[in-house]
Amino acid sequence: MPGPIGPVIPEAQRPSPGDVSFDLDNALAAVLSLRAKVPDDAFTAPTLGTERQGHGVLIRGDGLVLTIGYLITEAESVWLVGGDGKARAGHVVGYDQESGFGLVQALDLPDLPVLELGDSGRLRKGDAVILAGHGGRGQAVSAGVASRHEFAGYWEYVLDEAIFTAPPHPFWGGAALIGGDGKLLGIGSLLVQQAPPDEAPFEGNMVVPIDLLKPILDDLLNFGRTTKAPRPWLGMYTAEADGNLVVAGLADGGPAELGDVRLDDCVLAVDGEPVAGLVAMFRAVWALGDAGVEVPLTVLRDGDTMEIRVRSADRSDFFKSPRLH
């Protein structure tokens, strides 16, 4: 199995050991290549594929690896490769739908460096950081914090204060965000083109802050998910277009499809309250209660206003459970 994956970073964009106060090569060695195989009949297979690859970060000496959850959701097998070139089997420990984090346990404990968890709350716009994939300096980007603001994803996902870095890493999934102290400050999630309010537009990466992991780590280790009640999920992929909230996709067999929501419906209100923007819509749905609650939607369809009641669900109930080892 090959080691580094993804395009090599131009030398001018790579970090240099002389620019940091910590052992750069030692820190980069904690970033592993991750490959996951998902069954063809998995719920997420049509959208995320069955062969997934990215990165993971060794955060404990016992082989615990942190990655981005979409890489390992419903995975039947996971393989990890470190800088020593050795492929190691791993198994999914758990993932958290709210933050987007995923955990993998390496079955053959690697004798590799560990990245200590840092304090992402201290990051400010303009701070120098490194976004690193597996493969040493050739897979690391010397970057800066371009912005910190709220982020909403069409798959019913919100981060209160995501981290945005630039220039972008071309192979970002599961990459390690390393701060000036050599500690782990986040995990790479997306490539984005952003135009934040009152800020210049930029292309970069959205990174999930590491501080979101700390309160849920014990739950993920012990139960594979958090113990708090799951949020209501609609399976309704919504896009913002010209000031409208347009249904652009529906999960097969999901609550919205079963409730007769249709493509191109425009969502006007949740439980009678008008919503403007994805964040407002998602928060209005989640405020109604836990997964299973009925969600009243007002939609515009072919010029007519309609009231639809959707019985929400727990998104995890649609996923295949991780195989036990």
Q: Which two tokens stand for residue 206?
A: 């959205």
- For domain 1-228, the question of CATH label 2.40.10.120 is answered with yes
Q: Could you tell me the residue ranges of all domains in the chain?
A: 1-228, 236-318
Summarize pLDDT for 187-241 with one digit per residue, the tens: 999 999 866 666 777 799 999 999 999 999 999 999 999 999 999 999 999 999 8
pLDDT tens digits, 249-290: 999 999 999 999 999 999 999 999 999 999 999 999 999 999
Q: What are phi and psi of 38, to 5 degrees?
A: -120, 140
The candidate with the shortest Cα–Cα distance to 70, out of 88, 48, 51, 85, is 48
- Structure confidence at residue 86 as a pLDDT band (50, 70, 90): confident
Q: Which amino acid is at 255?
A: P
Side chain identity, residue 15: P
Whole-structure pTM value: 0.94
Strand partners, 37: 51, 77
Q: What is the DSSP letter of 154?
A: T
What pLDDT is recorded for position 5?
Answer: 59
- The first and second tokens of residue 75, run together, are 């995975």
**Residues 149-200: tens digit of each pLDDT:** 999 999 999 999 999 999 999 999 999 999 999 999 999 999 998 666 667 7
Q: Determine the topology of domain 236-318 in CATH.
A: Pdz3 Domain (2.30.42)
Block residue for tokens 């969502």:
267
